[in-house]
Structure formats: C-alpha cells, structure tokens
Amino acid sequence: MQTEAELLYAGVDGGGTRCRALLADARGRHIGAGIAGSANAFQDARQARISVTEAVLRALSDAGLPSRRISSVVAGVGLAGVNIRSAFERMIEWEHPFRDMQLTTDIEIACLGAHGGASGGVVVVGTGSAGCALVDGEWHSLGGYGFPFADKCSGAWFGLEAVRAVLLDFDELGPGTSLRTLLRDETGGGPLELVEFMSAAPPARFASLAPLVIEAAEDGDTVARGILDEGCAYLSDLILRLKAFGAPSVALVGGLSRRLSSRISADAAACVVEAKRAAEHGALLLAMSASTMSASKTN
C-alpha cells in the first residue's frame, strides 16, 4: 500500500475541445501539466476516458515521472456532459488507472477554481455554455443541457446560428449576410455542400465558426450583430440569475469569455469578477479534499 508521501494528485478539466490535467505532489506543490483531446462524456464516453488518461500521463511525463505512477494518482475529474445521468454512470463504471477518482461536472470545478472553494458563481462560455453557483455549501446549476438543444451563447451555438442564417440567405428568405462568403470559404460550396459538411460535425467544429460571427458583427454585418446581441443578452441573464441565487460574485470563464465580457449588460458586468484560478485547479481542490476526508474517516 502506498504511503501518503507517495501519493500524487491530479486535477482534470475535460471539455468539448480539450482536456487539461494539473499534477501535484502530496504537499500540494504543482509539478506537472498535460493536455489531451476532447472529453465530453455525453458525446463520447470512450474518447473522454482516453483524453483523461492521456492528459494525466502527459502531466506525469512533464513532472519527470514514469507512467506507472498513474496508479499513485488521486484524480479529481470534471467533465462536460456528466450532468446527464447516463454519461455519469458510464464514467463511474470505468475501470480507471488511478488510485482513486472523484467525478463531477466541468462547470462545478470551474466554480471551485474561480472562487478557491468559497461561495460564488461561474459562467462558462466555450464550446458549450452553462452556469452554476456554490452558495453556503449548496450547488445551483443553470443550462448545461448540451448542443444542439441548449448551450446558448456558446461557440457551438454561434456556429449553428451562422449556418442557419446563411441557408436562409441562400434561399433569399432571410437578410443577406457576409457570413455566406465566410462559410463558403470554410466549407467550399453552396447550401447543400454546407449542410453535408456540417451535418456530422461535432460541437467543437461548430464552435470554430464563432470567431467568424464575432468578427463579422464587428465589421458591421447586421445578421451577425443580431446573433451576437441575442447571445450576450442571454449571457447577461444567466449571470443575474446566479446572483439571484445568492452568489456574492460571478466569474466569467471559457474560450469566448474575454471577447464577450464587454458586451454584457451593465447590471451583469457589476457582478463579474476575475477567476482566481482555472478549472483544473478546482479539480485539484476536489481531489485533495476528497483524499483528506477519506484519511480522516480511516483515522
């Protein structure tokens, strides 16, 4: 049996685009980091397992440790999609290579990281979107239902709205938009080619179109501006709803957060603070706190 000094801790943040792992020793010192591919457990549980393992193995390598030490790792893992029961159960049933694994959603570890485990809220706007708040030890969640059903104001939502607008433009049933040319350059054809190209695309591929929408809006395209305004109005409402739960402040994080933060309402902006740490730090807090509780019960 491994001694406490031999234990390692990993905080893993798995989203729709990539999976990040932060490795710490038994004293909590950060010693390595690793990045792997997508880890949305609802979209592809098998790929999520692969990405989580690869990210931790790369963090071990970054720390100069052999891959066999993965069996010494207590992992705190936050994944996109595990708020859906079937996805959570598929991940919990995994015969993982770690000493122990604590599993939760990517949004909850983002909140833990943003506020250092204290009360507060977080809104994530990346490939997907969701919000949650920890208030006096109780969790409150909003959104996170997944693309294409929800995830409004996410990168994937922006991409899907762009495709819809372009198809209407092609048929002259909607206003003209420069997005038509931008998406043609991306996909290489007309409406049927666009549909064929995007029909089997994962959320991350739709999200890759989000910068085109934002740039078109900034260049004065009225259709793109309408999409951007609609998304940011929802983002503002999400922040204010978390505040209503009792969150003293809300952090805005994710790949689109900086580009959208200046476009939210004044009331929402007044609630927003900088995140203290990234989501993988929150996952590391989860791993270390779980290990501490386990040790206290044993003693």
Q: Is the pLDDT of residue 163 over 80?
A: yes
The confidence score (pLDDT) of residue 293 equals: 53
Q: Could you report the per-residue pLDDT of 26-71, keeping only the tens digit for each?
A: 999 999 999 999 999 998 999 999 999 999 999 999 999 999 999 9
Residue % of the chain over a pLDDT of 70: 95
Residue 190 vs residue 164, higher pLDDT:
164
The confidence score (pLDDT) of residue 299 equals: 42
Q: What is the CATH number of domain 155-273?
A: 3.30.420.40
The confidence score (pLDDT) of residue 73 equals: 97
The confidence score (pLDDT) of residue 233 equals: 98
Q: Is the pLDDT of residue 77 over 80?
A: yes
pTM of the predicted model, to two decimals? 0.89
Sheet holding 120-125: strands in order across? 138-143, 129-135, 120-125, 250-253, 272-273
The confidence score (pLDDT) of residue 188 equals: 77
Q: Is the pLDDT of residue 170 over 50?
A: yes
The confidence score (pLDDT) of residue 29 equals: 96
Phi, psi (rounded to 5 degrees) for 277: -140, 165
Closest CA to 243 of 129, 113, 121, 112: 121
d(CA 52, CA 255): 20
Q: Could you report the per-residue pLDDT of 82-131, keeping only the tens digit for each?
A: 999 999 999 999 999 999 999 999 999 999 999 999 999 999 999 899 99
d(CA 238, CA 235): 5
d(CA 188, CA 56): 38
What does the block give as tokens for 179? 């997005």
Collapse the DSSP code of 198 into the 3-class scheme (helix H, G, I; strand E, B; otherwise coil) and give the result: helix
Which DSSP category does 232 fall into?
H
The confidence score (pLDDT) of residue 5 equals: 54
Domain 4-116+277-298 in CATH: superfamily? Answer: ATPase, nucleotide binding domain (3.30.420.40)
Q: Is the pLDDT of residue 2 over 70?
A: no
**Which residue type occupies 233?**
A
Equal fold, 4-116+277-298 vs 155-273: yes
Question: CB–CB of 43/202 below 8 Å?
Answer: yes
CB half-sphere exposure, 265, CA atoms < 13 A: 12
| CB neighbour list of residue 124: distance below 8 Å, 6 or more residues apart | 106, 107, 110, 130, 131, 253, 254, 257
Residue % of the chain over a pLDDT of 90: 87
As a whole number, the mean pLDDT across the chain is 93
d(CA 192, CA 218): 28
pLDDT band at 292 (very low <50, low <70, confident <90, very high): low
pLDDT band at 185 (very low <50, low <70, confident <90, very high): confident
The confidence score (pLDDT) of residue 298 equals: 42
**Which residue type occupies 270?**
A
Residues in the chain: 299
A 10 A CB-CB count for 6 gives 12
CA 66, 67, 71, 75 torsion-angle sign: positive
Over residues 23-28, mean pLDDT: 95
A 10 A CB-CB count for 156 gives 28
Collapse the DSSP code of 112 into the 3-class scheme (helix H, G, I; strand E, B; otherwise coil) and give the result: helix
The domain limits of the chain are 4-116+277-298, 155-273
The confidence score (pLDDT) of residue 294 equals: 52
Residue 299 vs residue 259, higher pLDDT:
259
Over residues 177-197, mean pLDDT: 89
Over residues 268-278, mean pLDDT: 97
Name residue, tokens 């990234």. 278
Over residues 182-188, mean pLDDT: 84
